[in-house]
Amino acid sequence: MLREFKGKSLIALPDTYVVIDTETTGLDYEFCDIIEISAIKVVAGEVVDSFSSLVQPPPSFTENPETGVEECTYVDEYITALTGITNASLENAPKIDSVFPAFANFIGNNILIGHNVNFDINFLYDAGARLGYQFSNSFIDTMRIARKIYPDLKHHRLCDIASHLNIIATNAHRALADCETTNECYTIMRRSILDSMSEDAFKALYKPHYRNNGSKIDIASIVSENTVFDETNPLYGKTVVFTGALHSMLRKDAMQCVVNVGGINANSVTKSTNFLVIGSEEFASSVKDGKTTKMKKAESLRLKGNDIQIISEDAFFDMLAFEN
């Protein structure tokens, strides 16, 4: 999806900004919806204000097989288990058309900061566009910063960075709590960086990484066509599994795209899987009418703390197009 007015992803270390986080019904921008938005405003390094609201998404109506009565639901059991947000808590929550204007007013034109923030930005951009807002704030991803200064960490999820920095993170996967944790992580990382180098010197670290073009992977002998890789691309060094028919290209071509940005392909969902990409038609069907075996396995692994996300091919191609 082309987001013409989307803000820029920045490499910067400001002390005035707004930290944001969202919780959603899933990770696909077309088929899933925001269920919580939170933000923390920081001026000259000090927290001065906060914003948080649940958001009632469009309901789903399904017939209870035991009673035959049609029931209204907003989130499935997986999302409730992950976030703690229940159907009951969303029953009287405001809808996005009343929450978004207040949120937009709160963030103003500030630079936004978040962890793996590109996903939040895309959800907010699309929600704003549907309501007539041009959401164009530039943003900084703390995951990109963490991957650069802590390259030896096995994973760079928010919980991993918080643990590494001895930050006690509570209420994970609730938007305001994640904002607070993200801000603590950013503050410590920023101070650590600026204690050892200038901001310009830090920006200079983000140069293409060279890797041997002759190295092969196990699947179908697909080898990268590139010798230069952007380490900050969300797919760089990540293991990707595909399932379902892709509509935009053949799966082999999609796999080629993965290795071209420095990613790794695999056939099965395991603890090493970082992204499960669902063909668009199958993703839509699985969201509405049940879930595939691979989706269920991926959800189970994520609830156990594994670094895995389920995305549609549209979200996958959005990540391929990720730019500094």
Q: Which residues are catalytic, by number?
A: 173
Rounded distance between C-alpha atoms, residue 260 and residue 263, angstroms: 7
Rounded distance between C-alpha atoms, residue 82 and residue 75, angstroms: 11
Rounded distance between C-alpha atoms, residue 136 and residue 3, angstroms: 9
Closest CA to 220 of 279, 174, 264: 264
* Type of residue at 184: E
* Type of residue at 78: Y
